[in-house]
Amino acid sequence: MSDYYCKNAPLSPIHAYYHANEYGFPEKDESRLFERLSLEIMQAGLSWETVLKKRKSLNSAFCDFNAEKVASFTEKDMERLLNDASIIRNRLKIQSIIHNASVILEFRDSHNGFYNWLIYNNKESINDWVKLFKKTFKFTGKEIVSEFLMSIGIIEGAHEDWCPVKNLIKVKNSA
């Protein structure tokens, strides 16, 4: 298996599945984009393995990353999330996800959605992307932004050149 996956996919079933079926594949769905950004935020300071193991619970806790529902979370919801042992319980990360849901809702009016905002604001360098994300979202440093953009196929780097998944993505993009 180690000969098959690039170095970004440790030898664990949960990583292998994500690597082979999601990481670097283009994504346009608002809830999936919001989920990916939120997972990257949750990962800060933790292992990706931890986040992937808690992914199902995070989806449940954050209403499948429905921006309208998350943007309407109250202090009671915040307390519920902070007491939920099945998710990553970090107040700043949770607050940023709730805030970011409101930003995504604004993109519906300004750009007809999150994906269109990303395409409209296409940047030449990762540093320009980071500046844009920092002024737009909360809890979005360079690592979070670059991993998010790689994970949804906006920028290159998700897979080694020799990785078969990279070729699979190319085939799916050309279809």
We report the CATH number of the domain holding residue 75 as 1.10.340.30
* pLDDT tens-digit map of 118-159: 999 999 999 999 999 999 999 999 999 999 999 999 999 888
Q: Which two tokens stand for residue 157?
A: 């780097």
- Tell me the whole-structure pTM to 2 decimals: 0.93
Inter-CA distances, 30 with 37, 108, 117, Å: 11, 10, 11
Q: Please check the confidence at residue 1 and state whether its pLDDT lies above 50.
A: no
Q: What is the pLDDT of residues 29-42, one digit of tens each?
A: 999 999 999 999 99
Q: Region 62-77: what's the mean pLDDT?
A: 98
d(CA 99, CA 85): 22
Residues 68-88, mean pLDDT to the nearest whole number:
98
Asked whether residue 92 is domain-assigned, the answer is yes
DSSP string, 81-116: HHT-TTS---HHHHHHHHHHHHHHHHHHHHHSSHHH
In a domain, 66, yes or no: yes
Phi, psi of 54 (to 5 degrees): -95, 5
Return the CA Rg of the chain: 16
Known catalytic residues? 18, 40, 48
Is 34 part of a structural domain of the chain? yes
Residue 16 lies in a domain: no
> What's the domain count of the chain?
1
Q: Residue 18 and residue 24: Cα distance in Å, rounded?
A: 10
Range of the domain at 82: 27-152
How far is residue 126's CA from residue 143's CA, in Å, rounded to a whole number? 10
CA distance 131 to 109: 22
